C-alpha cells in the first residue's frame, strides 16, 4: 500500500510540473461487473475491448469484486469479449463509447468451455448511474436527419432541460450557431471544445458560440452538451460545455456526398412586405459537400476528411431590410437633383409661402452631394427616389425656424419652413453568406501501447450585412464580416499498464471576427473630403476608417432616419489560443483516479474605434439637413489598437469510486489561476494610487 501511495504521489507531482490544457475529453470509458448465472462476481476475467471500425484493442482484468474498466477510449462502437477458464466466452456487440461518459456494460458468464461463444445483450440503461454529470449526446447522423435551416450542431441541444436560447434562425446569413444560457448563466459562460481542446470565442459579448466554428454534421461523430455536475477535469466556465468529436477513418473505405437546397420559391411573401410593394425576399441557401475515410495501413493508420461549401442569400434576416423614415418630397425627385429641383420638391409639400420657402442658394453643398450620391449596391441614390411608401401622417417639425448661413464671423439668419411630411419606406436588400470549410483527421497506432491522433479544421465564412442599422438606413451600406477559423488538435495516449494511462493534448485555435464596410463604400466618392467635410481625426489617422463618409442620424420624428456607415463599421477582433494538457488515469481497485493540469496562452488583438469618421447627430428636420445646420457633430480618436496577452493555469484531481454495488461517488477538486491581461505596448491605462 505504501508503495502504491508513493507511486501516486510521484506521478501527481510529475503531472503538476508539466504544463497542461482543457480536459473536456474526446474519449470515453467502458466498465462494468462480471457475474455468473447465480449473481456471484467473477475475479480474473480477461476483458478485451475492440473498436469495430479500426480493430484498436485494449485489455483489462476483473478484480476481486468482478469490476473492470477501460478508460480513454476513442469515441465509437466496440465489441467486448470476456474469457475465463471454466466459463463460456461472453461477447457483447455494439457497446457505444461516448465522450466524457462512463458506460456500464454488465456481463453474465455461463459455466462451460472457452471455445463456446455466447452473445450477451447489454441494454443501455435509461439513467447513467456511473457519474452524476447531466449531459445530452446526439450524433452527427441525428443532426443531418433533423430539418433545420442551418444544420448547426447547436439547434437540437438548445431544447434540453435547463437550456434557454433564441429560436433557431431561419434564412440566416451565417452558420446559425446559437449561444444558449445554461442553468441561468450568461451566454458567454458556455464553453466549446473541439476534439478535447478549447475552441471558445472569448472575444464576443453576445455569446461564446457566436461567430464561431460550426463543422459540417457529416464530419461529426457526436456532439455532447454537459449542463451540470460534470467532474473537476472540465474547467474554465461555470455554464454548460459543448463537446464536438469528429469522425475517424476505419478499415473500410467509405464516404458520403450531399446537397441541400433552400429556395424562396417554397415560401410566400410576408404581409407587410407585400403591402409596402416589396417582392418576395430571397431565401436561398445551397450547401454541398463530401466526406471520405479509410485505412492508410490496415489496423494501424487511418484517415478521414470532409469538405463543405455554403452559399446563402437571404432577405429574411433583420440586417437585410430597413424600415426608414423619409420625406415625402423624395416622391417628387427623380434623376434631376439640381439644387433648384431639391428646393422645389420640398416646397411642394411643406406648405411654405414667400420668403420662408427654400431656394437653391439655401441648399448646402454637403446636402447637395448627399442627395446626388449613388449607392453602388442598388444603383439608385443613397437618399432614394420612392414610389412605395406608407404616409405616416406626421411632419418632421411644425412651423418655421431660423437657420444660419455663411461662415463665422459673417453669418446671416433666415426663417424657413420645416413642416416636411414624412413617409415610412420598407426596403429589402438580401444579405449574403459564404463558407468554405474542410476537416482532416489522422489516427495511428504507433506501438502496442501508444496511439496518436490529429485533427485540423479550416473555415472561411464571411458574411455581408446590407443594413447594419436595420431600423433607419435609407439605403444599404454593406458591412463585411471577415470571419475565419483554424483549429488544430493533437492527442497522444500512452498505456503504462492496464490500470495506468496518460493522455497528452496540444491545441491551436485561431478565430478572426474582423468587421469593416464593404469595398464599394470605401472609394474616394464615399469620403468626408469629397463631401467637403474636414475631419479633425484625420490629423491623427489617415486610414480609410477615418476618411470614409460619416454617419448622419436624425432624432425625434426622424429617429428612424440615417445614412452613411454606422460609427462602429470598422473593428478588429482576432483571437489565438495555444493550449497544452496532460491527463493521467489510474485505476486502483474500485477507484478511478484522474489528475492533471492545463496551460493556455491567449493572444487577443483588438481595435474598436467609434465615431472615428464623424457622427452628425440630432437632425430634427430635413430643412435643417438641407441647409447644413447640424445640431451636433462628433468625432473621436484614441489609441484603440490593443494587443492583449493573458494566460490560464489549472490543476485538478478527481476520483470516481464505488462503495458497494449500488453507490458511486464522484469527488474532485480543481484550482484555476487566470492571470491579469497585459498589453504588448503598455496600452492599458489605470490609476496610480501610490501618491495618495
DSSP string spanning 59-108?
A: EEE--TTSEEEEEEEESEEEEEEEE-TTBPEEEEEEEEE-TT-EEE--EE
pLDDT tens-digit map of 30-63? 988 899 888 889 999 999 999 999 999 999 999 8
Q: CB within 8 A of 585, min separation 6: which ones? A: 71, 72, 500, 501, 502, 503, 592, 593, 594
Look up the CATH number of domain 134-246: 2.170.130.10
Q: Nearest Cα to 90, choosing from 48, 55, 54, 145?
A: 48
Dump pLDDT digits (tens) for 237-295.
677 888 899 999 999 999 999 999 988 877 888 878 887 788 888 889 999 999 999 99
Share of the chain above pLDDT 70, in %: 92
Strand 27-36, strand 102-104: pairing: parallel
* Residue 571 DSSP class: B
What's the pLDDT tens digit per position in 591-631? 889 999 999 999 999 998 877 888 899 999 999 999 999 88
Q: For the residues of 259-302, what is the DSSP string, one character each?
A: EEEE-GGGS---HHHHHTTPPPPPEEEEEEEEEEEEEEETTTEE
Provide the 10 A C-beta neighbour count for residue 617. Answer: 18
> Which residues on neighbouring strands pair with residue 679, listed in sequence order?
644
Average pLDDT of 493-506? Answer: 93
Give the single-character DSSP code of 146: S
- d(Cα 215, Cα 342) in Å, to the nearest integer? 53
For residues 76 and 53, what is the distance between their CA atoms, to the nearest angstrom? 8
C-alpha 233/C-alpha 243 separation (Å) is: 14
Note the pLDDT tens digit of each residue in 66-86. Answer: 889 998 899 889 999 999 998
Order across the sheet with 421-428: list the strands. 321-327, 421-428, 390-395
pLDDT, mean of residues 491-510: 94
For the purposes of burial, counting CB atoms within 10 Å of the CB of 406, is it exposed (0-12), middle (13-18) or buried (19 or more)?
exposed
Confidence band of 11 (pLDDT split at 50, 70, 90):
very low
User: Would you say residue 177 has pLDDT above 90?
Assistant: no
574 near 201, Cβ under 8 Å? Answer: no
Nearest-angstrom CA–CA distance, 195 and 221: 10
> Per the structure block, which three cell numbers stand in for 522?
470605401
Specify the DSSP element, H or E, that contains 5. Answer: helix 2-17
Residues 174-187 have a mean pLDDT of 83
Task: Write out the H or E segment, with its range, that includes residue 600.
Answer: strand 591-607
* Average pLDDT over every residue of 657-681: 85
What is the tens place of the pLDDT at every residue in 98-152?
A: 887 888 888 889 888 877 677 766 555 555 656 666 667 777 788 888 777 788 8
- Cα separation, 46 vs 89, in Å, equals 10
For residue 102, give the nearest of 672, 669, 666, 484 by alpha carbon. 666
**Per-residue pLDDT, 649:** 93
Taking only Cα atoms into account, the Rg of the chain, rounded to an integer number of angstroms, comes to 32
Q: CA 117 to CA 85: how far, in whole Å?
A: 13
Q: Among the ranges 225-229, 276-280, 339-343, which has the highest mean pLDDT value?
A: 339-343
- Does pTM surpass 0.95? no
Question: How much is the mean pLDDT over the chain?
Answer: 87
37 to each of 114, 443, 496, 647, how far by Cα in Å?
Answer: 16, 40, 34, 56
Kindly tell me the sign of the dihedral angle through the C-alpha atoms of 7, 10, 14, 15.
positive
Q: For residue 366, which of 636, 635, 616 has the smallest C-alpha distance?
A: 616
- Say which residues have a Cβ less than 8 Å from residue 226's Cβ, sequence separation at least 6: 100, 133, 134, 135, 234, 240, 241, 243
CA pair distance 27, 242, nearest whole angstrom: 14
What is the DSSP-derived secondary structure letter of residue 373? Answer: P
Phi-psi sector, 12: left (phi>0), alpha (psi -120 to 50), beta: alpha
pLDDT above 90 covers a percentage of the chain that reads 54
Determine if the peptide bond prior to 409 is cis (ω within 30°). Answer: yes
Distance of CA 519 to the CA centre of its chain: 25
Map out the domains of the chain as residue ranges: 28-119, 134-246, 321-424
Q: What element of type H or E holds 340?
A: helix 339-350
For every residue of 524-548, DSSP letters joined together read GGGBHHHHT---GGGGT--SHHHHB
Q: Which residue has the cell 504588448?
A: 680
Q: How far apart are CA 203 and CA 471, in angstroms?
A: 26
The average pLDDT across 555-563 equals 95
Name the helix (H) or strand (E) containing 585: strand 572-588
The C-alpha atoms of residue 609 and residue 386 are separated, in whole angstroms, by 34
Model pLDDT, residue 368: 96
Identify which of 319, 323, 326 has the alpha carbon closest to the alpha carbon of residue 558.
326
Which cell goes with 39?
Answer: 449473481
Residue 484 CB contacts under 8 Å (≥ 6 apart), including other chains: 459, 460, 461, 510, 511, 512
- CB neighbour class for 669 (10 Å; exposed up to 12, middle 13-18, buried from 19): exposed
For the segment 586-594, the average pLDDT, to the nearest whole number, is 86
Alpha-carbon distance 351 to 460, whole Å? Answer: 55
What is the spatial distance between Cα 455 and Cα 675, in angstroms, rounded to a whole number? 29
Per-residue pLDDT for 23 more than 50? Answer: no
Residue 9: pLDDT above 60? no
Backbone angles phi, psi at 468, to 5 degrees: -60, -30
Q: Give the pLDDT band (50/70/90) at residue 588.
A: confident
The closest alpha carbon to 679, from 631, 640, 648, belongs to 640
Nearest to 587 by CA among 66, 46, 68: 68
Rounded distance between C-alpha atoms, residue 407 and residue 410, angstroms = 6
Which CATH superfamily is 28-119 part of? Immunoglobulins (2.60.40.10)
Output the nine-digit C-alpha cell for 688. 496610480
State how far the Cα of 337 lies from the Cα of 472, in Å rounded to an integer.
Answer: 23
510 pLDDT tier (thresholds 50, 70, 90): very high
Amino acid at each position: 500500500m505504501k508503495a502504491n501511495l508513493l507511486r501516486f504521489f510521484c506521478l501527481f507531482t510529475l503531472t503538476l510540473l508539466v504544463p497542461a490544457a482543457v480536459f473536456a475529453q474526446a474519449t470515453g470509458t467502458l466498465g462494468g461487473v462480471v457475474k455468473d448465472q447465480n449473481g456471484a462476481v467473477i475475479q480474473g476475467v480477461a476483458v478485451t475491448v475492440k473498436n469495430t471500425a479500426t480493430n484498436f484493442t485494449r485489455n483489462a482484468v476483473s478484480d476481486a469484486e468482478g469490476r473492470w474498466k477501460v478508460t480513454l477510449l476513442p469515441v465509437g462502437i466496440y465489441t467486448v469479449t470476456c474469457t475465463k477458464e471454466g466459463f463460456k466466452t461472453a461477447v457483447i456487440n455494439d457497446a457505444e463509447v461516448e465522450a466524457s461518459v462512463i458506460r456500464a456494460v454488465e456481463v453474465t458468464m455461463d459455466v462451460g468451455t472457452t471455445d463456446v461463444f455466447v452473445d450477451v445483450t447489454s441494454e443501455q440503461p435509461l439513467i447513467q448511474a456511473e457519474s452524476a454529470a447531466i449531459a445530452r449526446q446526439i450524433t452527427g447522423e441525428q443532426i443531418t436527419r433533423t430539418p433545420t435551416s442551418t444544420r448547426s450542431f447547436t439547434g437540437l441541444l438548445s431544447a434540453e432541460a435547463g437550456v434557454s436560447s433564441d429560436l433557431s434562425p431561419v434564412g440566416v446569413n451565417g452558420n446559425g450557431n446559437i449561444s444558449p444560457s445554461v442553468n441561468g448563466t450568461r451566454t458567454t459562460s458556455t464553453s466549446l471544445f473541439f476534439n478535447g481542446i478549447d475552441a471558445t470565442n472569448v472575444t464576443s459579448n453576445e455569446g461564446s458560440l457566436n461567430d464561431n466554428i460550426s463543422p459540417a454534421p457529416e464530419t461529426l461523430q457526436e456532439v455532447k452538451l454537459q449542463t451540470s455536475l460534470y467532474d473537476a477535469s472540465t474547467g474554465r466556465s461555470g455554464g454548460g460545455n459543448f463537446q464536438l468529436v469528429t469522425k475517424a477513418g476505419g478499415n473500410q473505405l467509405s464516404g458520403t456526398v450531399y446537397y441541400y437546397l433552400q429556395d424562396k420559391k417554397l415560401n410566400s411573401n410576408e404581409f407587410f412586405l407585400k403591402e409596402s410593394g416589396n417582392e418576395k425576399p430571397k431565401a436561398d441557401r445551397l450547401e454541398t459537400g463530401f466526406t471520405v475515410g479509410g485505412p492508410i495501413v490496415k489496423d494501424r493508420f487511418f484517415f478521414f476528411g470532409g469538405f463543405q461549401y455554403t452559399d446563402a442569400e437571404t432577405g429574411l434576416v433583420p440586417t437585410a431590410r430597413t424600415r426608414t423614415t423619409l420625406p415625402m418630397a423624395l416622391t417628387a425627385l427623380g434623376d434631376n437633383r439640381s439644387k433648384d429641383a431639391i428646393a422645389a420638391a420640398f416646397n411642394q409639400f411643406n406648405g411654405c409661402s414667400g420668403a420662408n420657402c427654400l431656394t437653391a442658394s439655401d441648399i448646402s453643398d454637403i446636402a447637395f452631394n448627399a442627395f446626388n450620391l449613388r449607392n453602388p449596391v442598388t444603383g439608385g441614390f443613397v437618399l432614394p427616389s420612392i414610389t412605395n411608401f406608407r404616409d405616416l401622417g406626421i411632419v418632421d417639425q411644425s412651423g418655421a425656424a431660423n437657420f444660419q448661413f455663411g461662415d463665422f464671423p459673417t453669418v446671416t439668419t433666415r426663417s424657413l419652413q420645416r413642416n416636411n411630411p414624412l413617409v415610412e419606406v420598407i426596403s429589402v436588400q438580401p444579405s449574403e453568406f459564404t463558407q468554405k470549410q474542410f476537416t482532416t483527421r489522422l489516427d495511428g497506432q504507433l506501438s502496442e501501447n501508444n496511439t496518436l491522433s490529429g485533427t485540423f479544421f479550416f473555415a472561411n465564412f464571411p458574411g455581408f450585412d446590407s443594413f447594419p442599422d436595420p431600423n433607419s438606413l435609407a439605403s444599404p451600406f454593406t458591412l463585411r464580416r471577415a470571419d475565419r477559423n483554424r483549429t488544430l488538435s493533437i492527442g497522444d495516449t500512452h498505456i503504462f499498464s492496464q490500470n495506468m494511462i496518460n493522455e497528452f493534448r496540444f491545441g491551436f485555435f485561431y478565430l478572426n471576427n474582423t468587421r469593416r464596410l464593404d469595398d464599394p463604400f470605401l472609394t474616394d466618392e464615399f469620403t468626408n473630403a469629397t463631401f467637403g467635410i474636414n475631419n479633425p481625426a484625420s490629423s491623427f489617422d489617415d486610414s480609410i476608417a477615418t476618411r470614409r463618409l460619416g454617419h448622419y442620424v436624425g432624432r425625434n420624428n426622424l429617429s428612424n432616419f440615417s445614412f452613411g456607415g454606422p460609427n462602429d463599421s470598422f473593428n478588429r477582433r482576432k483571437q489565438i489560443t495555444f493550449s497544452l494538457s496532460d491527463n493521467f488515469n489510474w485505476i486502483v481497485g474500485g477507484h478511478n483516479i484522474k489528475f492533471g493540469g492545463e496551460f493556455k496562452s491567449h493572444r487577443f488583438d483588438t481595435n474598436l474605434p467609434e465615431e472615428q469618421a464623424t457622427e452628425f447627430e440630432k437632425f430634427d428636420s430635413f430643412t435643417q439637413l438641407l441647409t447644413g445646420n447640424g445640431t451636433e457633430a462628433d468625432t473621436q480618436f484614441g489609441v484603440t489598437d490593443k494587443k492583449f496577452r493573458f494566460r490560464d493555469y489549472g490543476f485538478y484531481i478527481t476520483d470516481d469510486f464505488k462503495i458497494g454495488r449500488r453507490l458511486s461517488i464522484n469527488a474532485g477538486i480543481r484550482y484555476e489561476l487566470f492571470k491579469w491581461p497585459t498589453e504588448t505596448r503598455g496600452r492599458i491605462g489605470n490609476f496610480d494610487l501610490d501618491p495618495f
